Chains A and B, each alone.
Chain A
Amino acid sequence: MKLLVKGGTVIDPVAGKTMEKDILIVDGKITKTGVHLSAGGAEMLDASGKMVAPGLIDMHVHLREPGFEAKETIFSGTCSAARGGFTSVACMPNTSPVADNAAIISYIKNTAREKGAVNVYPIGAITRESKGDELAEMGDMKEAGAVAFSDDGMPVMNAGLMRRAMQYSRMLGLAIISHSEDKNISAGGAMHEGYMSTVLGLKGIPSSAEEVMVARDILLAEETGCRLHIAHVSTAGSVRLVREAKARGVKVTAEVTPHHFSLTDQTVAGYDTATKVNPPLRAAADVDAVKEGLADGTIDVIATDHAPHTVEEKDVEYDLAPFGMVGLETAVGLVWTELVAPGVLTPLQAVMKLTINPSMVLGISKGTLDAGSDADITIIDPAASWTVDPAQFAGKGRNTPFTGRLLTGMPYMTIVGGRVVMREGIV
């Protein structure tokens, strides 16, 4: 089985180069890249006018299986990923039961292998049932295939426990992913605290709820030497804390979601529950700060925090609606429209934050186009304009605040292990 990706602009984040060349794939591996490669019996994929990148990696998704299959399954979630141009996803452990032991990690890996459209890397829970009381069997989970640990959505409030988790995870060589939120500050909040929460009469989640925990976890990482990854950075203060920590040499990385660099709390006016997300959509100054953090390298990774919910769950009063929005199928469009087109990031920088950078945080052998690597490739049409229509999504969730938004830049083809899993929007 041979494929030749021909005529595209290849973005190689490892070499740090962008150039016109072809990629030859044989039996699921990249065997050769170069100018004017001859097909030699390979099926030719015309990529002229397109950008060819290593398969994109979304290191923060919720696949909901096991336990919440009405929201999403490993099958539907990976189809959504494929349609969004992602060839690998790392899924958070807040399933039911919680992915806090090797059996669940194995279940997710096996199910993904059987039914998944893309590669799935499970993230294990830090504490049993993510309750924040005692450490989960992190070593066991690593052996079963966990690539990092996080109590996403259920922040570890006990600083002593988080410290031990970092000591332990350092021994295993895996990163701790911090959902940074002080529950005592954010308690009951539904949106960013500021003028908009005052006008709308919704309880606010102050920026300090996030920043207090970012600061705490940076200090703990500095002390323990554990690799720390800050999930979904949303405030100017968090960006500053990460920037300062990096300058001191702390092993910290950070991610931002497309919605946090695209939307402000103004979007909540009208009480559309699709705008309810945790951390909340912040103020304009915060959006500017995360863009600055993306540009100067403080923020390493773009990840979606894809969080599907059913229509019924979201079609309620704002306070009652669950947090979260889907993101896999709008990510590339938002990155190109909001970051690449205005010059915040070059295409190469954007691709790095979607490939090699998350790959390094997770310690997986993905995100590269080097000969011999898995043939995971995403072809992006940077000029294609399209309007977001949730009815077209391959995933189950329809909870997006971007409905009707015109975006420029679209995943054109997704190739996983040499197999075309999505072509022009069809999975």
Chain B
Amino acid sequence: MGLSEKDLVGLQHVPAEEINQILDIATPMKEIIKRQIRKVPTLRGRTVVTVFYEASTRTRVSFELAAKYLSADTTGITAATSSMSKGESIRDTARTIAAMGADIVVLRHPMAGAAELLAHTIKASVINAGDGAHEHPSQALLDMFTVKEKKGRLKGLRIAIIGDILHSRVARSDIWGFHRMGAEVRLAGPATLLPPGVEKMGARVYTNLEEALEGADVINILRIQLERQNRGLFPGLREYSRLFGINKERLKLAAPDALVMHPGPMNRGVEIAPEVADGIQSIINEQVTNGVAVRMALLYLLTRGGSKHEITC
């Protein structure tokens, strides 16, 4: 087992069998996290470097813990966005890391295409932990894992993704992933935050929130970013909340057992009402736990590329 590509830059080209493989292996990985001693020797002697050019807590910590639970050595580099223009180029940073002997580099970067640039530069595997508005494949994989765990399947489910689709790498990876696994993907958000041609990626586009929510099995609520409002992309948070915020009443439009997800961090009271975020249908905390499990599976499979090793946990 193993993934056919050296890197995981996005889900656009990952076949369904490989997505299934990742999700399958995440299950025993999750068992490890639940143990008292959360450590297996699977990746002993391997090095995972996280390179974060953009602020992030949960994704970076999630990858670092995933690596540590598998006994990999980890180290992290964070670069403030402001120093990028005057500092070292990403290619030179990459070569430096490669020269030190990393097996896997986890990259978060504010610009689309950065992960692909890195992947073409170094021999180590690159996991894209979010590049601009392009993709965030490990988030989509953990979303799919969480939904599959709860619903037992992905095929035929109605997944509504709500909010700022235009700037969302999570939305793009979710669309590719859920669509490939046979789910029906619906998108809703302000017209100025819906990117052109997105329906061709395999989604139905709604500007009416109620229609998008009708009978949905999953509601994935995206973070609305304050700076978007400052750039005049929508009139304001108050109106956004009124038109697109998910509250208890709107939740009722979805299937009775619909799941509520959010990739975090949340703006409570803006895109998601507190009672929805903390309600019984919310699986937001579950997503965080599963994030570690899915990333363990990814690290494992990327170091096993092409080989037939059985999992040793």
A residues at B contact (CB < 8 Å): 193-204, 270-271, 312, 315-320
Contacts and interface: CB of A to CB of B under 8 A. Distances in A.
A320 B114 CA distance: 11
A194 B112 contact: no
A417 B116 CA distance: 49
Given A198-B201, A202-B112, A315-B89, A271 B117 contact: yes
Nearest to A203: B133
Given A198-B196, A317-B117, A271 B91 contact: no
A202 B113 CA distance: 8
A195 B196 contact: yes
Nearest to B89: A316
B197 A318 contact: no
29 contacts: A193-B196, A195-B196, A197-B196, A198-B195, A198-B196, A198-B198, A199-B12, A199-B172, A199-B197, A199-B201, A200-B112, A201-B112, A201-B113, A201-B134, A201-B172, A202-B112, A202-B113, A202-B133, A204-B195, A271-B112, A315-B91, A316-B90, A316-B91, A317-B109, A317-B113, A318-B111, A318-B112, A319-B113, A320-B111
A315 B12 CA distance: 24
Interface in B121-140: 131-135
Contacts of B109: 317
Contacts, number: 67
Given A195-B200, A201-B132, A201-B169, A317 B111 contact: yes
A196 B135 CA distance: 14
A208 to B, nearest CB: 12
Contacts of B201: 195, 198-199
A204 B201 CA distance: 17
B112 A195 contact: no
A11 B172 CA distance: 53
Which 4 residue pairs are nearest across A and B when measured between Cβ atoms? A195-B197, A201-B134, A271-B113, A201-B133
Interface residues of B, number: 25
Interface in B99-154: 109, 111-114, 116-117, 131-135
Contacts of B114: 317
Interface string B61-99: 000000000000000000000000100011100000000
A305 B169 CA distance: 34
Nearest to B118: A317
B112 A319 contact: yes
Contacts of A271: 112-113, 116-117
A320 B196 CA distance: 23
B166 to A, nearest CB: 8
Nearest to A202: B112
B116 A270 contact: yes
B196 A201 contact: no
Contacts of B117: 271, 317
B48 to A, nearest CB: 23
A158 B109 CA distance: 36
B265 to A, nearest CB: 20
A271 B135 CA distance: 14
Nearest to A315: B91
B113 A200 contact: yes
A330 B209 CA distance: 51
B131 A201 contact: yes
B197 A198 contact: yes
Contacts of B112: 200-202, 271, 318-319
Nearest to A196: B197
A94 B197 CA distance: 35
Nearest to A320: B111
Nearest to B132: A201
Interface string B160-176: 00000000010010000
With most chain B CB atoms within 10 A of its CB, the pick from A194, A198, A202 is: A198
